[in-house]
Structure formats: C-alpha cells, structure tokens
Chains A and B, each alone.
Chain A
Amino acid sequence: MAINWFKKIVKDYPKFWETYLSCFNENQSKEQRYVVFDCETTGLDYKSDRILSIGAVGIQNNQIIVGDFMEVFLQQDVFNPETVTLHGILREGKEEKVVEAEAIIRFLDFIKNATLVGHHVDFDIEMINQALDRLDVGKLQNQAMDTDVMYQKLKYLPQEQQSSLDELCDIYKIKKSDRHTASGDAFITALLFLKLKRKLEI
C-alpha cells in the first residue's frame, strides 16, 4: 500500500489513482514493458501551457506492439494560435476530444507500471505531472528513459549537448513521415529507442 507515513492525514485518493498505484505492487514477473510516448503541447512552458494530444505505444521483448497503442486529443481551454502551424491541432479539430482529466486517466490506465520512454522525456513527464497536480493526486511513479540521454551515453557526449529528434532520425535513418503528431512522434521515438537500446546492449 502506498501510504505516506510522513503525511498527517492519509488522503483519500480517487479510484483511478489507487488502481494506478497498485500496478507497482504487482510482482514484475512479466516481460519488462516499455511505453514510448509523446505529448503535443500548446507551448514549452509547463506551467502555463497545456497538453493537446498524447500518443503512446508499447514495446515488449524488443518489439513495438502496434496493437498496444493509445492516442487521445484534449479539449482546450488554453489555446495558443501560434503553435497550430507546428502541430496542426486546431481547437475545433475533427478528432474526438476529451477533457484533461479523462485523458490523464486513460493514459495512466494505459501505461500502468511500464518504463516510460520519450525524447527529452522530462518535459513530457512534467506536463503530465502538472495535469496530475490539477487532479490533486501525486506524480508519475514510473521509471523513465530518455532517448537523447541514451544517445549521449552511446557517443560519450557531454550532458549539455542535446540533439533533437529530427537530428537523431537523420543519423539513424528513420523516416520522419508523421513528425509532429503525438502518435507519429511516439512511433519514431520507439524505433529510435529500439536502435539505441540494441546498441547500448540494455
């Protein structure tokens, strides 16, 4: 049970959060699962900007499981017209949209205790954590791996030297056909992750 002994009151968390937390108590007998995900956002400020869409896909046994997939588009209260040109998600787009809470619940239900993978994943995790905060629950508990950090390790690059997803795609000859949709980026990142994972012999 996830009980914080230092908190005076044991908070009564909503059901979805309990379910999420309970995932981490299961014995990890199964094959390690990774979830590669990407958030499209209204901007790069995690305080004021909001998530537009989340795309995520599962990896198990070094294989991208195409059926193990989620994609969700969020209804927007905060809307930044400047970034529309970049990601192409309009406030009144065609996609079915859900409220932020619903999106986050679906996301938690999808990732369970998987190791999260992303390119510059800290930002995406922080965006999710901000949303979780608005739901008044804790932060993500999952382990996380960053494809850029993996690349730095592989090439012995200093931490400051960051590479964009585009750059790495060019280096590893991954077709960038669906860049800048959440699920497209997730898939590309997944391919990149498989390559780097193999090279680092993780």
Chain B
Amino acid sequence: MKNPIAERITDFLKHYPPFSSLPYESLLEIAKTCQVIYLEKNQTLFKINDATHSFFYVVASGAVGLSVTSDSDDVLIDKCDEGDILGLRPFFAKNNYLMTAKAREESIIYAIPIETFKPYVAANPDVLSFLLESFASNTRNPYDKSHKGKLISENVIYNDQSSEIQYYQPIKYTSNPITASPNDIVKFVAQTMSSSKIGSMIIHENRKPIGIVTDKDLRSKIATGLYSIDVTIDKIMSSPVITVADNLSIAEAQIIMLKNNVSHLCVTKDGSTDSEITGIITEHDIVVAQANNPGVLLKQSKRAQRSSDLKEVREKLADLIQHSLDKNVPINHIGSIVGEINLAITKRAIELAIEKIGTPPPAQFAWINIGSQGRKEQLLLTDQDNAIIFEDVPEDNYDTVKKYFLELAEKATKTLNKVGYDFCPNEMMASNSLWCKSISDWQNQFKGWIINPADKNVLQNTIFFDYDFVYGNESLVDTITKTIHEEINDNQLFFAYLGADALKNPPPLGFFRQFLVESDGEHKDTFDLKGRALMPLIDAARILSLSKGIKNTANTISRYAKLAELEPQNAPVYEACADAFAELLKFRTEEGLKNESDGRYLNLSELSKLDKVKLKNDFQPINDIQEVIKNKFQLTYFT
C-alpha cells in the first residue's frame, strides 16, 4: 500500500547523511517503520544511564541538546538541528546512554528502529563509516573540533583529532609545474628558475619525468666548476625522480621524502615514472600544510596573491585561536599573535590594492586600524575599522591625491571583506571620504573633537583614539599622536565628556548580584558581554591612559599595565581590570568560536556555575575603576 506519510519522511531523510547515500526505495522502507515523536521544550528524549532505546533519532525540526553532567551541572556538548542524528550508541555498544538528550526548543523527531536500519548499515560502507565516525568522535560531525577536551571523563572513544586529522589531509601542491627538456642548456634553465622564483624544475621527455634539477644541483655541479654553464641539463639533473600519485596525505608525502632523502616529489597521473607529469610537491608545501603555526601563517599572508589566499590564512587562524585557548595560552599572548597576523593580512590587502591600481601612491600616507583592530583585541572576525592619513599636498593636487587613496581604500576594504572582516556598519573605514584625508585635516579633526567635544560628537568617535599603525609612513601617525597629547593636556571639558561616557554602563549586576540581561529585542535574556562588561573596561582604560599621556599603546591590557606602573597607589585596581578584561575576552572568544558568531551575547543558561561565578567576579573591577574615574575627573559634579 502507498504510504504518503512515509514518502514525506523519505523526502526529508534523503537530504541528510548517511541517508543520502541510500537508494530511495530503501529509505521508503525505513521510513515506513519509523515513528514520529514530538518533544516539548526541555523534554528529555533519553537520559544519562538510561538503558539504550531500540531506536536512533533524527531531528526533523527544532533542536535537541546533548549534554553530560559534571559537578552536578549539565554541560552542553552538542546541539542537533534539522537533519542531525543522535542516539547512535545502541548500534555499537550494549551499555547505557552516556549523554542526556533534551529538546532545546519544540522539536519533532523521527525515531528509526535500529533493527530495520542495521542491514542497510552492513550493506553500505558509506553509511557505516559515517555512523562510526559520528560515534567515535561523539559529535554528529566527526570533524568538529570545538568540543575537544570536554569528553575526557567520558569513556567514549576520544582522541585529540585536530593535529592528526590535518596530518592525514591531502596535501596541496603546485599543479602543472614548469618543466624543461633534457637538451635545454643549463644557463637558460637557471634563468627560468630564477625569473619564476622556483627552486627546482622537472626534466621531461614526452611529458614523462626523467629527472629533476634543484638549487642543490646547480650549487654542487655548476658553481663548483664540475660542469660548464653551457652543457645540456641532462648532464646535471638528478635521476630518477621520485614520483607519487595524486591525493597524497601530508604524512605520506613527508615519509616518502624522508625515505628517499629528497626534498621534491613529482606527481604523475598514475603515480609511476611512466606517466604524465601533473604536479610537484616540495618540502615547503609540507610546512605550509602543517599550518597552525603563526610563523607559517605570517609568511603565507605575505605571499598571498589573491583575497582567497588571505581568507585561507584567516580561517587557519581561527583554528590557531581555538587551539591556543584549549591549551590555556594566556589570552593576551593569543591576542598579540592574532594581532600580528591580522596586521599582516591587512598589509597584504593594501599591497595588493596598490598593485591592482598599477601606479604607486602619489604621496606619503599611513593606514591605521582603529577600534578593536587598533587595540589588537580582535580575536574573532568582527568588522573592520580603519582610516588613511596622507601627507599635506599642494591644494590643486588635493583632490586627485584623495581620489587615489579612496580608490586604494575601496579595494583594500573589499579584499578584507572577502577575507571575512565585515564592513563597518557605521562606515568608519578609509574608503569613507570623511576618514581618508590629509594630516592637517586629521589634526583639525582631532582638535575639534578635543576642544569642542559636545559639538563634534566625540562620543561616537572615541574609537579613533584607539589606533594602530599598519602600513606606510609611521611618522604621520606620530604627528597625530603628538597633536592629540598637546591638545588634551589639562582639557577638563574633554575628560569630563569622556569620563561621563565611560560611566554610562554601570557594573552589570543587579541588587541581588543577579545578572542584568537584555530585557527586549532579539537578544532577550542573554547577557551583552561587549556592551555591559568589555566596553566599560575599554572606555576606562582609554580615558585614563589619555589623561596620563600614555602614547602608542591602544591595547586595553597594556594600557592598564602602563597605568599600574605610573600610578602605584591604584595598581591593584588596574591589575584587577587587566585580569578581568582578559578573562572576559576569553569568554567572548570561546562563545564566538562555539557559535560562529561575534560572541557578543552570552546565553547565561548555557554557562556552568563555575563560569557564572568567574564572570561575576570580573564585574567587581568595573565598579572599582568607575569609582577611580568619578573621583579623578570629579564627575560627580558634572553628571
């Protein structure tokens, strides 16, 4: 009999692995045996230690959270959304469930009997390996790294995957390499190698590799005078060349190189020396592939030719951040490494823009990052804020010069956007003609903000006081710094404005030490980590360091460190602020990585009790530092 309900379920299942690798008829048979369950929010599907069910489950709509219990708190391990499978344990193990599955919102679940599904698993290796991988990693996506380190107490098969998986990934190499024929003259081969900036060249006969010439051959056989520079290349080439097939993993490539004591491998169509050359793998490719290494990332961004290359660097950087957080590297160190790489990416984006325009800049200029990028606190991909300062030019030239830099900024910001830094919603970017101007205009701009804080909207533009030199002529930035510090010296009105602004967000704890959460809008009942905790600390650091004449330091933690040095009597407060800031930044970064968001809003119900206590303790310094500001700038009269 036809069963439209089963058909409907089949139509759903066929979109998701592992069902997508099964034929429609099999799916229909499976669908006919399944059951549909409705779960209300917070209703449990199974609990830790429940005897395993005879079903496994697919989320049809809604979301189900998987959690383990540790220290009497539920720790959310994974969230299953539409199409995700859960409850695979009975497939592989006889003992009870190790996790609790609870609906995080109203959900409809398809329960598929394990008995019906088993034959399909046995008959279909794709399905089996998908289930095995899902089960082994204990998250539905076998390659999900974000839950590393949380499952150690759970005896599920667990291993530190990230480094190894990467190691077994296929290696990226140069395809269609430049080649030479055996009777080419050494001199010309060497010329080609240097003009193409390559260290080796494969020698071919009928597109089949017969040897290879590397820098080493040229060094040991030509430069030593063993052969003349006019001989044919086959006299000095190393032969035979080691060939491999496509799809080599990083590990394999490395082992083959070590075994044969070579630094280059030739990729051919079928892997033998008797087939067509398709590519070349060098030691450099292997180093690059083991990428989570800041040095390599820096180098890679310097060599990038396109925005997609830079994007790759930024993506690897995210892994690096996660890795460092897992290893408990202090957030400030992570911040400075990430800052350097962000900087390198921005620099390269500017260089690429100049190359694209085709003419060198018509005047000296400096590109500065402002806001969180300027403070080097941008661990997650947030938006870009930047500006251009160019040197004073004759008036009749001004427009053309400005036009050039606007175009430059337009191109560079576009590249950065492709890399993943969103455009600034407030247009605080060098491509905005307001923020791309000559040094005198910038000096006047800052003077305006400082002398007339009320008229010039200094409060919306405080991020311009957090800047960091990126590219060009740094002395232009120094001039700005000097101007700012001359103008603010003893300018009470300016500090009063800034101070009042720094106090507008009081410590985010209610009277009973409960969290103040957002009471409306799309982020209702979540905690605004950026607005309520990070911003007050950032604002306070800015005003205090400006008043103390601290120069060339925009980073909040460094600012507090300098302040502690200059004002030993308040050092404990400043140090506490620095610590709290680091902790809060870490919260934000972890939240952001977990949810692939900017981490601004924390869902308190997902925090463990310990985390909540930590978070609350970080709020005390906000209170203390605001007291310092109140007294220092006598804001009690002003506000």
Contact = CB atoms under 8 A, between A and B. Distances in A.
Interface stretch (A12-20, A74-82, A187-195): A187-195
A66 B6 contact: yes
Nearest to A193: B38
Interface string A140-179: 0000000000000000000000000000000001010110
B108 A191 contact: yes
B4 interface: yes
- Best-surrounded residue of B32, B38, B108 (most CB of chain A within 10 A): B38
Contacts of A137: none
Given A69-B6, A70-B1, A71-B2, A63 B106 contact: no
Interface in B1-49: 1-6, 8-9, 31-38, 40, 43
B5 A191 contact: no
A64 B43 CA distance: 17
Contact of A195 (B4, B31, B38): B38
B116 to A, nearest CB: 10
B111 A184 contact: no
B389 to A, nearest CB: 54
B4 A66 contact: no
Nearest to B110: A66
Contacts, number: 68
B6 A63 contact: no
Interface residues of A, number: 26
Contacts of A198: 38, 40, 43
B60 to A, nearest CB: 10
A191 B6 CA distance: 14
A139 interface: no
A142 B210 CA distance: 86
Interface residues of B, number: 22
B390 to A, nearest CB: 56
Contacts of A187: 4-5, 8
Given A177-B8, A187-B8, A199-B40, A66 B34 contact: yes
The 8 closest A-B pairs by CB, nearest first: A64-B36, A194-B38, A63-B35, A183-B4, A187-B5, A67-B32, A63-B37, A66-B34
Given A63-B111, A66-B9, A177-B8, A191 B3 contact: no
A187 B11 CA distance: 15
Nearest to B5: A187
A42 interface: no
Given A70-B1, A71-B3, A62 B9 contact: no
Given A67-B33, A191-B108, A62 B5 contact: no
Nearest to A73: B2
27 contacts: A57-B5, A62-B37, A63-B35, A63-B36, A63-B111, A64-B36, A64-B37, A66-B3, A66-B5, A66-B6, A66-B33, A66-B35, A67-B32, A69-B3, A69-B5, A71-B2, A173-B106, A175-B61, A178-B8, A183-B3, A187-B5, A190-B36, A191-B36, A194-B37, A195-B40, A195-B106, A198-B40
A61 B82 CA distance: 23
A69 B61 CA distance: 22
Contacts of A183: 3-5
A181 interface: yes
B36 A71 contact: no
A99 interface: no
A56 B108 CA distance: 19
A138 B108 CA distance: 38
A181 B4 CA distance: 9
Contacts of B2: 71
Contacts of B34: 66-67
A184 B33 CA distance: 18
A66 B6 CA distance: 6
